[in-house]
Structure 1
Amino acid sequence: MSATMIREFRLPDLGEGLTESEIIVWKVAVGDTVTLNQIIAEVETAKAVVELPSPFAGVVAALHEEPGTVVEVGKPIVSFEIEDDGAGGSAPDAADAKREPNLVGYGAVLEASGRPARRARTLAALRPERVAPVMVVAPLVDRPRSTPPVRKLAKDLGVDLEVVTGTGEDGLITRDDVRNVVGGGDLPAAAQERVGTQAEAIGPHTKGERETRTPIKGVRKFTAAAMVASAFTAPHVTEFLTVDVTPTMELLARLKASRVFAGYKLTPLTLVSKAVLIALRNHPTLNARWDEASQEIVQFNYVNLGIAAATPRGLTVPNIKDADRLSLLGLSTALTELTDTARAGKTGPGALSGGTISITNIGVFGIDAGTPILNPGEAAILALGAVRKVPWEYKDEVALRMVMTLSLSFDHRLVDGEQGSRFLQDLGTMLADPGMVLAMV
């Protein structure tokens, strides 16, 4: 009968130097047998919800954090009971290092070239035998240590957790601790007075709180910080162009009816995205970024097209890598996968970084125009307004035509007014007459 050993899995750096993640849900329980790279949890970083694969094959011995807990990178989150390979607790040799499990999505072979030092540190953090075991996680000092269910109970009962002394492990506040406070317990006089005041207020407000407070964290916190940084760093200029897109909408109807696009999802966004990629060939200054540290303009010779997506957890802007190399069919597929993944909250950190230019489709909300804020590190963003049937001049007469307003924001450090205007004009020309693409490629 082979011996077993306990191995800890510490929260890894999930990309972009993120320092913490929140445990959303555990997919396993203590006693479950798991396989290598089996999904064991969903965690939310500042950018996305990420599925966490198991680094070991074995039995779950302990889950160190409750769902709803924000955990710092490098802290233990789960322990596994695995078969002892005979290496014991000694430091692994080169052969042992090669046997270290690779984690899907963020594991890597140590010998891979071009690996930043930060990644190497991350892999080291995943090897508990190289680090002194940490079995007690120090509580954060900004609020009493408790679990989400206990915090909800305290809120429902009107109890301030600051007056509660935790009797659980490492000072953890339990449900009984909260209930004891409501009964008075052995609290100091000042604390009892506070609790009494809270208890008196429970009745009038239980059927409708006057305020609801939601912690700013995860995707929304990151988005807010990024947008503020962008708005106060890059000098924004926004230009508007209203276009008769009737020919484009007619083309869209024909494509949907054709055999070639049977089973594919085509929308106005699909055709506008393709037009943007074509227009960038003649206006590459919009596909660049300003590098303040090196005082250089970085010109991208590829296009990672970002698409703003509204999700239950906030706005994200995943991007399609090398979108300029895709055919219309490929672009249609990529857009469908991108939006479906974003709505499901499964977008990975890799898809949220490295964008070069973005599109936001505000028309789906019935909005005609806006002043979109640049995605940090990009020179331009295009907002698509709603397609509306309105009276419009057509062949020297007034007719009902399908019209859309394009709103282009750009970084004036990188893009002159003339360059932005010509890009927008070329884009409008293609949407007003798709046949003009032949003259631009």
Structure 2
Amino acid sequence: MIKVFKLPDLGEGLTESEIVAWHIAPGDTVTLNQHIADVETAKAVVELPSPFAGTVSTLHQPTGVVVQVGEAIVSFDVEGAEPAAAAPTAGTDVPAGVPAGVAAPAEPAQEREAVLVGYGASVERGGRPQRRARRGAAPAPAAAIVVPAAASVRASVPGSVPASVPAGVGAVGAERPRSTPPVRALARDLGIDLARLTGTGPDGLITRDDVRAGALTGPGADATVPAIGAAASVPGARESRTPIKSVRKHTAAAMVRSAFTAPHVTEFLTVDVTPTMELLDSLKRNRAFADQRINILTVVAKALCIAASRHPSVNTRWDDEAGEIVQYHYVNLGIAAATPRGLLVPNITDADALGLTGLSAALAALTDAARAGTTSPAALSGGTITITNIGVFGIDAGTPILNPGEAAILAMGAIRRTPWEYKGEIALRQVMTLSLSFDHRLVDGEQGSRFLADIGAILAEPGMVLTMV
């Protein structure tokens, strides 16, 4: 029986996703929950598992195409199938985008549509194992991939369809490069075709070093296939155009909504953080903290959590529909992260319950996931207040825009050795500027000022924490 898998709602209420890469081809035998594709939502790249065990019949969408939730993306031949050439009858579910004359056999009307495993899909398995198609086998006759004639097929992702293959047609039966999701994300960021690399890892696994070597030497790069989000340009052209999609599209909409919904106020505080930097130096020399990545961001995160407990208005949300102010009794601390895919704001759940070492570990995991492109959609929602570290770019201060639904965002500026009054004299001290933007509907000027002053007091004299907790 032919089972049509339609793009599901990946749990974030998003209406569309882009097919980044296929990891199956027509003729392949797949198992339940097998990773079959990478799809990019407005928030993250998600590994899509198979809801069926069977043989891949048809790929309905090529890579690089934005697909709406509910559109057919792949069909599976589950054992016990009716003849594939059966004519459609009343009630037959013909996949969206399939041209006239190319029909999929009917599914029982009472069955639920295939969705991600765990979301209610029924799975049928054959009693006899099926042989997997041999690698390098000839393409199946008839249309292996059905692409709507009106579909706008953009450049495919490196590692999916070679440039020599016509647009909309996948490489059938080709050997898929063995790699991990972080390595595939790195290859996409660098514009490297994994199919042209030789893996040096166990059993030919392609590693990060293999991808970086390919970027430096050139043989792994496919000059005809731009990376995701790259502008389609012509040498010598006076301008180029890049499609607005995925993270950039989502970020733009969110920032516009935030800027024109919440009345922003920004305050600045310049602080002598020399005592905090001396504390960090002493922790590095302490063997008990030798393996911890405790840095200025860790200390600022802890200071923010302490200050938020003293000034709870900064940790709230304005619920316009209900006409209520939602007060959070926990802190899900968002950390703005600049990635090759755009701005992401993953958050640390219950950050207020963590000490310095716990925050250090959580920040390290969050940063590594963001850089590797493996941040889960769940980690990108539910934040209550945010920190953005603009100091890493050498910027002293700014006016950050609130993450939608949050009452405050704190920007950390660069730490500079600056002439500063210290004990009645001028001395070179390590100085930082903090910038706090807040929603004036939720946070009064006094509340925002006291919150910022508390953070500054902790950084200027870490021992002040003892008077606040």
Shared fold per TM-score greater than 0.5 = yes
User: CA 1:206–1:43 in structure 2 vs 1: closer, same or farther (change >3 Å)?
Assistant: closer
1:307 lines up with 2:303 in the alignment: no
The structural deviation recorded for 1:356 is 0.5
CA separation in 1, counterparts of 2:4 and 2:288? Answer: 52
Q: Deviations over 1:231-274 (max 9, x none)?
A: 01100000000001111111112222323323222221111001
Alignment gaps of 5+ in structure 1: 111-122, 128-134, 151-165, 170-204
Q: What's the counterpart of residue 18 of structure 1? A: 14
SS of the aligned residue for 1:254 comes to helix
Q: CA deviation at 1:85?
A: 10
Q: Which residue of 2 is the match for residue 325 of structure 1?
A: 353
Q: Determine whether 1:383 maps to 2:411.
A: yes
Q: Distance in 2 between matches of 1:23 and 1:214?
A: 17
Query: Is the contact made by 1:22 and 1:43 (CA closer than 8 Å) also made in structure 2?
Result: yes
Cα distance in 2, alignment partners of residues 136 and 391 from structure 1:
68
Q: 2:59 aligns with which of 63, 66, 73?
A: 63
Q: Whose helix fraction is larger, Structure 1's or Structure 2's?
A: 1
DSSP-derived class of the 1:406 partner: strand
State the match for 2:304 in structure 1.
Answer: 276
Task: Give 1:373's aligned residue.
Answer: 401
Contact 2:333 2:351 in 1 (8 A): yes
C-alpha separation in 2, matches of 1:73 and 1:206: 33
Give, in whole Å, the separation in 1 of the partners of 2:115 and 2:340. 33
SS at match of 1:263: coil
Deviations 1:140-159, CA, capped at 9 Å, x for gaps: xxxx5343259xxxxxxxxx
Q: Give the Cα separation in 2 of the matches to 1:311 and 1:167.
A: 29
- The answer to whether the aligner puts 1:43 opposite 2:39 as a matched pair is yes
| Counterpart mapping for 1:25-424 below 5 A | 25-84=21-80, 89-90=107-108, 103=117, 107-108=118-119, 144-149=150-155, 207-424=235-452
**Residues 1:280 and 1:235: Cα distance change in structure 2 (over 3 Å):** same
Taking structure 1 as the reference length, what is the TM-score of the superposition? 0.74
Measured after TM superposition, the shift of residue 56 of structure 1 is 2.1
Say if 1:420 and 1:405 are closer, same or farther in 2 by CA, change over 3 A: same
- Residue 19 of structure 1 aligns to which amino acid in structure 2? T
Tell me whether 29-38 or 405-414 shows the greater mean CA deviation: 29-38
Contact 2:316 2:442 in 1 (8 A): yes
Q: Which amino acid counterpart does residue 9 of structure 1 have in structure 2? A: F
Q: Give the superposition deviation at 1:101.
A: 8.6
Q: Between the two proteins, what is the percent identity of the paired residues?
A: 68
Q: What is the one-letter code of the residue matched to 2:20?
A: I
Where does the alignment leave 5 or more consecutive residues of structure 2 unmatched? 83-105, 125-144, 157-165, 170-232
TM-score, length-scaled by structure 2:
0.70
Q: Specify the SS of the correspondent of 2:288.
A: coil
Secondary structure at 1:68 match in 2: coil
Instruction: Report the CA distance shift for 1:292/1:84 in structure 2 as closer, same or farther (over 3 A).
Output: same
Count how many residue pairs are aligned between Structure 1 and Structure 2. Answer: 353
- Name the SS of the counterpart of 1:436 in structure 2: helix
Question: Could you tell me how far apart the structure 1 residues matched to 2:26 and 2:418 are?
Answer: 62
Change (3 A) 1:290 1:211: same
**Residues 49 and 116, structure 2, Cα contact 8 Å, conserved in 1:** no
Give secondary structure in 2 for the equivalent of 1:402. Answer: strand
**8 Å Cα contact 2:317/2:326 also seen in 1:** yes
